[in-house]
Protein backbone atom coordinates (compact mmCIF):
# COMPACT_ATOMS: atom_id res chain seq x y z
CA UNK A 1 0.00 0.00 0.00
CA UNK A 2 1.49 3.27 -1.08
CA UNK A 3 0.13 5.39 1.74
CA UNK A 4 1.93 3.24 4.26
CA UNK A 5 5.28 3.66 2.51
CA UNK A 6 7.55 5.61 4.87
CA UNK A 7 9.30 7.44 2.03
CA UNK A 8 5.98 9.19 1.11
CA UNK A 9 5.04 10.24 4.66
CA UNK A 10 6.47 13.77 4.46
CA UNK A 11 4.66 14.75 1.25
CA UNK A 12 1.48 13.17 2.61
CA UNK A 13 1.75 15.14 5.84
CA UNK A 14 2.49 18.31 3.81
CA UNK A 15 -0.58 17.86 1.62
CA UNK A 16 -2.60 16.93 4.71
CA UNK A 17 -1.59 20.23 6.33
CA UNK A 18 -2.30 22.19 3.14
CA UNK A 19 -5.70 20.49 2.69
CA UNK A 20 -6.52 21.07 6.34
CA UNK A 21 -5.53 24.75 6.10
CA UNK A 22 -7.56 25.26 2.90
CA UNK A 23 -10.60 23.50 4.37
CA UNK A 24 -10.18 25.44 7.61
CA UNK A 25 -10.03 28.77 5.75
CA UNK A 26 -13.04 27.83 3.55
CA UNK A 27 -15.03 26.67 6.54
CA UNK A 28 -14.16 29.67 8.74
CA UNK A 29 -14.63 32.27 5.97
CA UNK A 30 -17.52 30.88 3.94
CA UNK A 31 -19.50 27.97 5.42
CA UNK A 32 -19.41 28.77 9.13
CA UNK A 33 -20.50 32.45 8.75
CA UNK A 34 -23.42 31.32 6.59
CA UNK A 35 -24.37 28.68 9.15
CA UNK A 36 -23.99 31.24 11.96
CA UNK A 37 -26.22 33.68 10.06
CA UNK A 38 -28.82 30.95 9.53
CA UNK A 39 -28.68 30.00 13.24
CA UNK A 40 -28.97 33.66 14.29
CA UNK A 41 -31.90 34.14 11.93
CA UNK A 42 -33.62 31.04 13.36
CA UNK A 43 -32.89 32.20 16.92
CA UNK A 44 -34.30 35.64 16.07
CA UNK A 45 -37.43 34.09 14.51
CA UNK A 46 -37.90 31.81 17.54
CA UNK A 47 -37.46 34.75 19.90
CA UNK A 48 -39.95 36.80 17.84
CA UNK A 49 -42.40 33.91 17.88
CA UNK A 50 -41.98 33.56 21.64
CA UNK A 51 -42.58 37.32 22.11
CA UNK A 52 -45.69 37.08 19.90
CA UNK A 53 -46.87 34.02 21.86
CA UNK A 54 -46.38 35.88 25.16
CA UNK A 55 -48.27 38.87 23.77
CA UNK A 56 -51.12 36.68 22.51
CA UNK A 57 -51.22 34.81 25.82
CA UNK A 58 -51.49 38.12 27.68
CA UNK A 59 -54.31 39.19 25.35
CA UNK A 60 -56.05 35.83 25.84
CA UNK A 61 -55.67 36.14 29.62
CA UNK A 62 -57.13 39.65 29.47
CA UNK A 63 -60.01 38.39 27.31
CA UNK A 64 -60.67 35.52 29.75
CA UNK A 65 -60.58 37.94 32.69
CA UNK A 66 -63.00 40.29 30.90
CA UNK A 67 -65.26 37.35 30.06
CA UNK A 68 -65.23 36.12 33.65
CA UNK A 69 -65.91 39.66 34.89
CA UNK A 70 -68.83 40.09 32.52
CA UNK A 71 -70.11 36.62 33.46
CA UNK A 72 -69.88 37.51 37.15
CA UNK A 73 -71.68 40.82 36.61
CA UNK A 74 -74.34 39.06 34.54
CA UNK A 75 -74.81 36.50 37.31
CA UNK A 76 -75.04 39.29 39.89
CA UNK A 77 -77.59 41.13 37.75
CA UNK A 78 -79.59 37.93 37.31
CA UNK A 79 -79.51 37.28 41.07
CA UNK A 80 -80.65 40.85 41.72
CA UNK A 81 -83.46 40.45 39.18
CA UNK A 82 -84.51 37.16 40.78
CA UNK A 83 -84.46 38.75 44.24
CA UNK A 84 -86.54 41.69 42.98
CA UNK A 85 -89.01 39.40 41.28
CA UNK A 86 -89.28 37.25 44.41
CA UNK A 87 -89.90 40.39 46.50
CA UNK A 88 -92.60 41.58 44.07
CA UNK A 89 -94.25 38.16 44.04
CA UNK A 90 -94.14 37.96 47.83
CA UNK A 91 -95.62 41.46 48.14
CA UNK A 92 -98.35 40.57 45.63
CA UNK A 93 -99.11 37.34 47.53
CA UNK A 94 -99.30 39.23 50.82
CA UNK A 95 -101.60 41.84 49.28
CA UNK A 96 -103.87 39.18 47.80
CA UNK A 97 -103.86 37.27 51.08
CA UNK A 98 -104.88 40.42 52.96
CA UNK A 99 -107.58 41.15 50.37
CA UNK A 100 -108.85 37.57 50.65
CA UNK A 101 -108.80 37.71 54.45
CA UNK A 102 -110.71 41.01 54.41
CA UNK A 103 -113.22 39.58 51.91
CA UNK A 104 -113.67 36.42 53.96
CA UNK A 105 -114.01 38.45 57.17
CA UNK A 106 -116.68 40.61 55.55
CA UNK A 107 -118.50 37.53 54.24
CA UNK A 108 -118.25 35.87 57.66
CA UNK A 109 -119.62 38.99 59.35
CA UNK A 110 -122.46 39.15 56.84
CA UNK A 111 -123.19 35.45 57.31
CA UNK A 112 -123.12 35.82 61.11
CA UNK A 113 -125.50 38.77 60.90
CA UNK A 114 -127.86 36.75 58.68
CA UNK A 115 -127.64 33.78 61.05
CA UNK A 116 -128.39 36.07 64.03
CA UNK A 117 -131.32 37.58 62.18
CA UNK A 118 -132.63 34.13 61.24
CA UNK A 119 -132.09 32.88 64.80
CA UNK A 120 -133.82 35.95 66.27
CA UNK A 121 -136.67 35.49 63.83
CA UNK A 122 -136.83 31.79 64.67
CA UNK A 123 -136.74 32.58 68.40
CA UNK A 124 -139.46 35.15 67.91
CA UNK A 125 -141.50 32.64 65.97
CA UNK A 126 -140.62 30.00 68.56
CA UNK A 127 -141.95 32.27 71.33
CA UNK A 128 -145.13 32.78 69.35
CA UNK A 129 -145.49 29.07 68.66
CA UNK A 130 -144.56 28.19 72.28
CA UNK A 131 -147.09 30.73 73.57
CA UNK A 132 -149.75 29.28 71.24
CA UNK A 133 -148.90 25.71 72.34
CA UNK A 134 -148.91 26.75 76.01
CA UNK A 135 -152.30 28.44 75.58
CA UNK A 136 -153.72 25.38 73.81
CA UNK A 137 -152.30 23.00 76.44
CA UNK A 138 -153.60 25.14 79.29
CA UNK A 139 -157.04 25.24 77.63
CA UNK A 140 -157.13 21.50 77.26
CA UNK A 141 -155.81 20.81 80.75
CA UNK A 142 -157.83 23.40 82.64
CA UNK A 143 -160.65 23.86 80.21
CA UNK A 144 -160.35 27.66 80.38
CA UNK A 145 -158.72 30.12 77.96
CA UNK A 146 -155.76 31.91 79.59
CA UNK A 147 -155.32 34.45 76.79
CA UNK A 148 -152.55 35.02 74.30
CA UNK A 149 -150.77 37.68 76.33
CA UNK A 150 -150.66 35.61 79.53
CA UNK A 151 -149.34 32.58 77.60
CA UNK A 152 -146.63 34.76 75.95
CA UNK A 153 -145.58 36.14 79.38
CA UNK A 154 -145.36 32.62 80.84
CA UNK A 155 -143.23 31.39 77.92
CA UNK A 156 -140.96 34.46 78.16
CA UNK A 157 -140.41 33.91 81.90
CA UNK A 158 -139.61 30.26 81.32
CA UNK A 159 -137.19 30.95 78.42
CA UNK A 160 -135.47 33.77 80.31
CA UNK A 161 -134.83 31.46 83.28
CA UNK A 162 -133.28 28.82 81.08
CA distance 157 to 162: 9
CA distance 51 to 27: 33
pLDDT at residue 50, as a whole number: 97
CA distance 148 to 138: 11
103 by DSSP, 3-state: which? helix
Give every CB contact of residue 103 below 8 A, 6+ residues apart in sequence.
none
pLDDT at residue 1, as a whole number: 65
pLDDT at residue 7, as a whole number: 82
Residues of the chain with pLDDT below 70 are 1, 162
pLDDT at residue 162, as a whole number: 63
pTM: 0.45
pLDDT at residue 124, as a whole number: 77
pLDDT at residue 138, as a whole number: 82
Amino acid sequence: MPQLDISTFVPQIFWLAVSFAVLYVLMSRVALPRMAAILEMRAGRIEGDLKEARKLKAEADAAVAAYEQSLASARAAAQAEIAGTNARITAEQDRRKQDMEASLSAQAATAEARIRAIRDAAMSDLRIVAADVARTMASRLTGSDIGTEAAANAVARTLDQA
